[in-house]
Amino acid sequence: MLSFLAGGADGAPVNPWVALAYLVAGVFFILALRGLSSPATSRTGNRFGMVGMLIAVVTTLVTHDVANIVEIGIAILIGGSIGFVIARRIAMTAMPELVAGFHSLVGLAAVLVGWAAYLNPGAFGLLSMGDTLVIGSDGLFTFGRGISPVSKVEMGLGIAIGAITFSGSVIAFAKLSGRMSGSPILLPARHVINLGTLAAIIVLTALFAMAGPSETMPLIIALTVLAFAIGFLLIIPIGGADMPVVVSMLNSYSGWAAAAMGFTLGNTAMIITGALVGSSGAILSYIMCRAMNRSFLSVIAGGFGADDSAGGSGEAKEQRPYKQGSAADAAFMLEQAEKVIIIPGYGMAVAQAQHALREMADMLKEKGVEVKYAIHPVAGRMPGHMNVLLAEAQVPYDEVFELEDINSEFAQADVAFIIGANDVVNPAAKTDKSSPIYGMPVFDVDKAKQVFFIKRSMGGVGYAGVDNDVFYMDQTMMLLSDAKKMVEEIVKSLD
């Protein structure tokens, strides 16, 4: 059984210890996912993942014929050094685009591996017995000769999914990093174009699997080009409010691309790892879509703000009266409160206000105030963005609550303290059927006795482009300033 699991691409059994090593690596990957399910165990989960990957890489290098182990070692050293430096220097606000950038590299790697296997299947053990090799001027190239239809399907799927992951992640990176507008870019007849392109990719994969050796090159080129194109076409129409789902979705794509390449190469570790990443990313995307009360297909079809008639323009639609307060006003009312619920959003991340926020919360707790943090599943620009920022500021895990666990407590809260959030506290999601965020579960901050809302100005209205009635409620006090500066001023007033 172990020999079967560890079989090579040509079906030949290999050393059963290889299968055992890959199995151990797979167990570590599962433990990593379990650890990453909670901020309290996330570091342990990361360590498990690193150990599992180390076992898988070392096993592959030791048990396979490698052309030049020195070159591979140098490549690993260079790539690892670059990743280490980037991870050490990256700001927490840039984490979402970093994740998207890394996803693009995974997709591109799948495309390159697929093409390498196609151009030289003999080196990957994909040739059947009795097949004839064609010697080209540049060396040993077969251009698909002798590759079985099943292997071609696996190869085509790996290349297609990898290309979609690469180009889609590039667009996500550009949107998240501000190099491209976060607003949806709508193409005429985009749904027809997308469906037609996807259908063409499926047809090309089938033709590629059935084609003779001399007919495969144009098909695989066309397949690759269309897959790159559909990645761009799918992500460009998606607005910034749906970016957390997009990041999770692209993570899933990268896993399935790796799994497909694992089947092509006959590598059990790649299949296990890819399936774990792909399935966990898909489940997370589903959970986040449920948190927004949206279907996965509706997100892919366009995202928040994709319908011009429903969405806003990103600016307040009308001038309405609101109350503006100062840091001193907020500090006085906060220290008089018995219960304060803090709702962080992307504005907190941009201002890097999490450390000042934790200092403010610590001072309030010293004065006998109960402080809790409310995290929306889609707050920020990627899954868990706010959790990571609060963990960085060493906010106790037992003070952080998800939407469904804390939403009922706003009616008993003296203060709802909103810092950089917008769409996740917008009551239009519950009342306005024409709103692009209608149906998305939001925090019931309107039930709190007092609301403090920190934002830079009254001009912007969030990524979804929808004005927020919370700004104008009788119990709301707008604190218009940079989030970090405002919280630091509140801390000084509390002191």
Residue 352 is encoded by which pair of tokens? 């890097």
For 373, the 3-state DSSP assignment is strand
Averaged pLDDT for residues 195-215: 89
Residue 371, CA distances (Å) to 50, 347, 367, 478 in order = 36, 20, 11, 20
Q: Is the pLDDT of residue 248 over 90?
A: no
Q: Is residue 321 part of a domain?
A: no
Round to whole Å and give the CA distance between 175 and 356: 28
Among 257, 275, 306, identify where a domain stops.
Answer: 306
**Is 65 noted as a catalytic residue in this protein?**
no
Residue owning tokens 């206000």: 353
Residue 344 is encoded by which pair of tokens? 């962080």
Marked catalytic residue, from 423, 444, 446, 467? 423
Same structural domain, 75 and 142: no
Residue 90, CA distances (Å) to 86, 248, 292 in order = 6, 20, 29
Same structural domain, 165 and 21: no
pTM for the complete prediction? 0.74
Question: In terms of pLDDT, which residue wins out, 260 or 384?
Answer: 260
On whether the CB atoms of residues 213 and 145 are closer than 8 A, the answer is yes
Averaged pLDDT for residues 48-74: 83
> How many independent structural domains does the chain possess?
3
Q: Is residue 148 part of a domain?
A: yes
Q: Is residue 386 part of a domain?
A: yes
Among 50, 70, 89, identify where a domain stops.
Answer: 89
Q: Is residue 6 part of a domain?
A: yes
Which stretch of DSSP H or E encloses residue 335?
helix 327-336
- Per-residue model confidence (pLDDT) at position 410: 93
Q: Is residue 388 part of a domain?
A: yes
Q: Is residue 454 part of a domain?
A: yes
Same structural domain, 335 and 427: yes
Q: Which residues contact 201 (CB under 8 A, 6 or more apart)?
A: 160, 223, 226, 227, 230
CATH assignment at residue 375: 3.40.50.1220
Q: Is residue 408 part of a domain?
A: yes
Among 277, 306, 335, identify where a domain stops.
Answer: 306
Same structural domain, 331 and 460: yes
Domain of residue 374, residue span: 327-494
Averaged pLDDT for residues 132-139: 50
- Per-residue model confidence (pLDDT) at position 318: 57
Same structural domain, 274 and 357: no
Longest dimension (CA), the chain: 85
Which stretch of DSSP H or E encloses residue 191?
helix 190-210
